[in-house]
Amino acid sequence: MEYKIKQIKNYNDCEYIFDWWKLAQDKFNLEKDYETVYEGELEVEDETDTVGILEKLFFIFNMKHPQDFKGHSLSVSDVVELNGKNYYCDSNGWVDVETGREL
Q: Is residue 6 part of a domain?
A: yes
Q: Is residue 102 part of a domain?
A: no
Which ranges in 6-92 belong to alpha helices (H)? 21-24, 30-33, 50-63
What is the reported pLDDT for 15?
Answer: 87
Range of the domain at 26: 2-96
Report the alpha-carbon distance of residue 77 to residue 99 in Å, rounded: 16
What is the reported pLDDT for 56?
Answer: 96
Report the alpha-carbon distance of residue 87 to residue 5 in Å, rounded: 10
Q: Which of the 8 DSSP states describes residue 10?
A: -
- The tens-digit pLDDT sequence of the chain (103 residues) is 999 999 999 888 888 888 999 999 999 999 999 999 999 999 999 999 999 999 999 999 999 989 999 999 999 999 999 999 999 999 999 999 999 999 9
What is the reported pLDDT for 12?
Answer: 84
Q: Is residue 101 part of a domain?
A: no
Number of folded domains in the chain?
1
Q: Is residue 21 part of a domain?
A: yes
| pTM: predicted TM-score of the whole model, two decimal places | 0.94
Q: Is residue 41 part of a domain?
A: yes
Report the alpha-carbon distance of residue 17 to residue 36 in Å, rounded: 16
Report the alpha-carbon distance of residue 50 to residue 58 in Å, rounded: 12
